[in-house]
Chain A
């Protein structure tokens, strides 16, 4: 066994506390009513780079920086006068400062210790640097994931777009080829050629329209769009969704109310969520008979400050087994899926302060399809 701190037992039977306090990872500081440091543990000297002698008798403000420096002393003053607890008993995040001037984020929890008339405060300080780094890394990874999934979805959309572009291109090629044949034949086919040329012009515009429709989606956007409308955001991807549904013989019902209150969202991300839910609905209906292939997109106000958008399919529903893991990354029931879609959707919806959920259309069976929905707080709420 290696060296262990042995807490000597005092005659009263109580454990002598100093070695225990020095073994703590968190910094512990005892201050008096004026905010002057009375005692510290070893972790405090390690964390801040001061010696015990340098700290005892100094104001607690010495260890803080920025507004926190003076605030702490003010809090104590106010508590003494009014008895109003501002930070006592709860944790708070502050900017701490070491002896060498470097700053770091720290969490401080302050408790009150009364012995007779004497009031002291004990503060526990935890260095949040590492915690922050982990958080930031997770955030970066999440952003990357969102980008990857957007790219893969754009790949699928590109396939649908290619199909849609093929129609006018085929027609243009046919009209042009027919015109050439007619001209070579040197017969009186003036009418036919004129008609064909006019059609070529209009089919070219049709192809241009297909490209224009996708432009909004491919524009990269990171920023939050203040006071935008869900109807508008959804309308921008409607034709994209229709490419997908049409290619799969599915009717797409669209019912988003006009008078929904404005929302503050990252439009591209919310569009991605909607498209993803529609994509899943399409996939769920591969074995649905053609006359039952319907997807309904609906949005309405479900609480005074909450909009709910739902995507209902008539597909294979969510089995009890799948329901448990459905939002987990890398869980998928599809043969070609990566299991990223719903996990990312949930992340996006949650960062917007909403929730993503689902239910089978018939609670007793999954065979009547499922409805996936998400909520978004309206502007006033944020």
Chain B
């Protein structure tokens, strides 16, 4: 997985608002890119992008809420901060229910926005870790044989080797061998680590 630099993607149809936000981020050495419409952003959007999105909720053409829905269909995990105007609170609430990171009302204090963006960026970092980890675990899981997969599923349920042997109608010794293989292939140092991995796979 290529490691993309964190950036702030600003989607707002108002030239002055967009441009002034870019300048504001420049003062804190955060790279910001402006998009004048939701459609332009969706056209260029790449799932590998890292950072966060600042999205105007009211725009001509594709609205902020619609951009959010389309992004989630494309498995975008970037946190979205909505910019809302006077009287847009019901829309903002809907956006939050759909998984938006936060919303901020116009006009806002620069520090307030900076703080939210900082939070969003660190949330994206954590998220990025998790995504990377999940990807590695999934890759390793795919190398297990069908029998090893069965054994792993029983192990993470907390079943003892004796019970697993009875269930799978094999000797206890065979179970031990499979179990050692699973730990090795999954690069799990302990049973707890293996359980964590299985949880990651379930999500």
Contacts and interface: CB of A to CB of B under 8 A. Distances in A.
B156 to A, nearest CB: 48
Contacts of A192: 23, 26
B17 A167 contact: yes
Contacts of A177: 24, 109-110
Interface in B128-187: none
Main secondary structure of the interface of A (DSSP, over half): helix
Interface string A193-215: 00110010011001000000000
A166 B23 contact: no
Interface residues of A, number: 29
B24 A174 contact: yes
Interface in A169-206: 169-175, 177-178, 181-182, 185, 192, 195-196, 199, 202-203, 206
A182 B23 CA distance: 10
A181 B8 CA distance: 18
B104 to A, nearest CB: 10
A163 interface: yes
A287 B14 CA distance: 25
Interface in B99-146: 106-110
B108 A173 contact: yes
A323 interface: no
Contacts of B58: 163, 247
Contacts of A249: 59-61, 63
B189 interface: no
A247 B60 CA distance: 8
B61 A290 contact: yes
Among B86, B108, B109, residue most surrounded by chain A Cβ atoms (within 10 Å): B86
B62 interface: yes
Interface string B55-94: 0001111110010000000000000000101110000000
Contacts of B62: 290
Contacts of B2: none
Contacts of A174: 17, 20-21, 23-24, 110
A168 interface: yes
B28 interface: yes
A171 B26 contact: no
A162 interface: yes
A249 B38 CA distance: 13
Contacts of A182: 27
A173 B20 CA distance: 9
Contact of B85 (A166, A178, A290): A166
A203 B16 contact: yes
Interface of A: 159, 162-163, 166-175, 177-178, 181-182, 185, 192, 195-196, 199, 202-203, 206, 246-247, 249, 290
Interface of B: 14, 16-17, 19-21, 23-24, 26-28, 58-63, 66, 83, 85-87, 106-110
21 contacts: A159-B87, A162-B85, A162-B87, A163-B58, A166-B85, A166-B106, A167-B14, A170-B20, A171-B17, A173-B108, A174-B23, A177-B24, A178-B23, A181-B27, A192-B23, A199-B16, A199-B19, A199-B20, A249-B60, A249-B61, A249-B63
